[in-house]
Amino acid sequence: IVLVVEVVVVAVVVVVVVAVVVVVVVVVGGGGGGVAVDIVVVVVVVVVVVESTLAIIYGAVHTQFVFSS
């Protein structure tokens, strides 16, 4: 059950990240920035969001495991 929850959460996170990336690209791209700038910004945003989100998810999951056991 926990694995299923993790998969669902990861899927949701991926969708959210993609949405954020699209918004960032549109906003930054609309500002007249170069393609290279857009790419750098997107990569940074994705890395930060994914890393922090995964840390939170795994922290919560491990905490639940500890409490349940």
Q: SS3 of 33, please?
A: coil
Give the chain's domain count.
1
Confidence band, pLDDT 50/70/90 cuts, at residue 50: confident
Q: How far apart are CA 56 and CA 32, in angstroms?
A: 35
pLDDT of residue 34: 67
Band (pLDDT 50/70/90 cuts) for residue 69 is: low
Contact 54, 17 (CB under 8 A): no
Packed helices 35-68 and 2-30: angle between N→C axes, nearest 10 degrees = 160
> How does residue 45 score in pLDDT terms, banded at 50, 70 and 90?
confident
Per the structure, the complete domain to which residue 23 belongs is given by: 2-68
Segment 26-39 mean pLDDT: 66
